[in-house]
Structure formats: structure tokens, C-alpha cells
Amino acid sequence: MNGRLIVFEGVEGCGKTSQIQLCQEWLQYLGISVVVTREPGGTALGLDLRRLLLKAENKTIFNTTELLLYAADRAQHVEEELKPNLEKGNIILCDRYTDSTIAYQGYGRGLDINLINVLNLIATSGLESDITLWLDVDIEVGLSRKRSSGDIADRIELEAIAFHRRVQQGYAQLQASQDKIVRIDASLNKEAVQRMIQTTLSDRLKAWGYV
Ligand code: Z5A
């Protein structure tokens, strides 16, 4: 596959959506063919799964059910969206991927991380990101950004603060153990965060032969 998969990760309100949009504009300006997608909800089937997963009223979803629904969304997304775009040589900017499941269902819910790794492998058939940008911001800052955005809180966002703290620790541990995960200080303003992302990606784009 000729394309590259760039994944954005982080806790609620870390700024993934804003940064992906700015990044897309920058790559288009450079003349690079770019596709933006997300998990859950990067396909038509995934949109239905996303609604089920995030609807605040769905209080009776068991942890294992939740895990399997995220995996089902991913399996569909990899085959329908990621692989075909990588075959075409596109750069993909993906809002969340396998590390979200480790952070939220593993560290957050306390499900077995070895099992999650196996499930991720099944869902992705081994497709990994080329680089993962972890937008690191305090959970209190992220949650307060989301609250002031006026969006209605979803099922996961409504979890207790201790849950979000475990998720954040999960990301920190993942980053400490993998060179591929680059920490970006997402507490700064949007422009400063985007500058750091572009600096990080510029080297990769050269190494990958895009510029
Ligand atoms: N989830 C899971 O549990 N397991 C999995 O395997 C996967 C996902 C794949 C959906 O994700 C949920 O699914 C998520 C994890 C779980 N939990 N929740 N809730 P999502 O990515 O769609 O939802 P989200 O994490 O809540 O993302 P978001 O709402 O799209 O937020 P964001 O993309 O990180 O931030 P944003 O939309 O760019 O910014 C939010 C607000 O902050 C907005 O008003 C911005 O203008 C503002 N903002 C952004 N950046 C800044 C800076 N730098 N300064 C000040 N204000 C800012």
C-alpha cells in the first residue's frame, strides 16, 4: 500500500477535530491528496454503530458489548475506507484508531489489554498507523472545552472523572512504550498546536516522498 495512515488520539476535547481540519487544509495546500475519516462512524454501517455507542440513553451497554461494537466499527472501516485509500496512495487523517480502544476499554473500563490487542489485530488485519499524534491535554481542560462548545454530552463523556483519568493514564503509558506515538502539547492555542503538528509531519512527509 502506498498511502500513509496518520492517527489523532486523545481525551475528550483535546482538539482532534479542529487540528485534523487545519491539517487537511495544509496538506491540500501542499498538493497532497488527503482523506479525513474517524472512528467510530467512518462508514455508513459505522454511523449506525456510533449512534448506538454514544447515545446517552443507552445506559445498559455492557463493557464487552461496547468493546465488540468498537471492533465491528473498525473492521468495517479498515476494509471499506482505510485499505482502499491507502492503495490509492492517499494520506489518511483518522480521528481515533486502535489506541482509543486500549485507552478507553482497556485502561478506562478495565478490560484485558492482551485480549484487546488480539481483537485490534483481528479488526485491522494488522493495519497499523504510520504515526499517531497524541494530543495531550488535562482532562479538566478537555471536558470544559467540550461543555462550552454547547454539544450535548454523549454516553462516554458522561462517565465519572476517574474514568477519564484512567484513559489519560492509558495514553501516557502507550506513548511511553511506542516511538510511533508522538506527544503534542494540546493545552496551547489552536494555531500553536497546529504548528507543532506541521513540524512533526514535515519530516515524515519528506521521508515518505510526498514533498
Ligand atoms: N471511543 C472508545 O471508547 N473506544 C474506541 O475504540 C473509539 C472511541 C474509537 C467518540 O469519539 C467516543 O468514542 C469518545 C471515545 C470513544 N468518547 N467520547 N465522548 P469522538 O472522537 O467522536 O469524541 P470526542 O473525543 O469527544 O471528540 P470531539 O468532541 O470530536 O472533541 P475533539 O475532536 O477532541 O475536539 P474539537 O472538536 O476539535 O474541540 C472541542 C472544543 O474545544 C471546540 O469548541 C473547539 O473549538 C475547542 N478547542 C479545540 N482546540 C482548542 C484549543 N487548542 N484551545 C482552546 N479551545 C480549543
Of the candidate CATH numbers 3.40.50.300, 3.30.1490.20, 3.20.130.10, 3.40.50.261, the domain formed by 4-208 belongs to 3.40.50.300
Predicted local distance difference test score (pLDDT) of residue 1:
59
Domain ranges within the chain, ordered by starting residue: 4-208
The model's pTM is: 0.98
Predicted local distance difference test score (pLDDT) of residue 100:
98
Q: Is there a binding annotation on residue 108?
A: no
Using alpha carbons, select from 4, 40, 42 the residue that is nearest to residue 23: 4
Atom 27 of ligand 1: nearest residue by CA position: 12
Q: Which parts of 16-112 fold into alpha helices (H)?
A: 16-29, 44-54, 63-77, 83-87, 98-101
Predicted local distance difference test score (pLDDT) of residue 84:
98
Nearest atom (ligand 1) to Cα of 70: 6
Whole-number percent of the chain with pLDDT over 90? 92
pLDDT digits (tens, 9 = 90+) for 155-182: 998 999 999 999 999 999 999 999 999 9
Mean pLDDT of the 183-208 span: 98
Provide CB contacts within 8 A for 124, sequence distance 6+.
74, 75, 78, 98
d(CA 10, ligand 1 centre) in Å: 8
120 grid coordinates: 485490534
Q: Considering only residues 158 and 15, tell me which one the structure prediction assigns the higher pLDDT.
A: 15
CA 119, CA 71: separation in Å to the nearest integer?
7
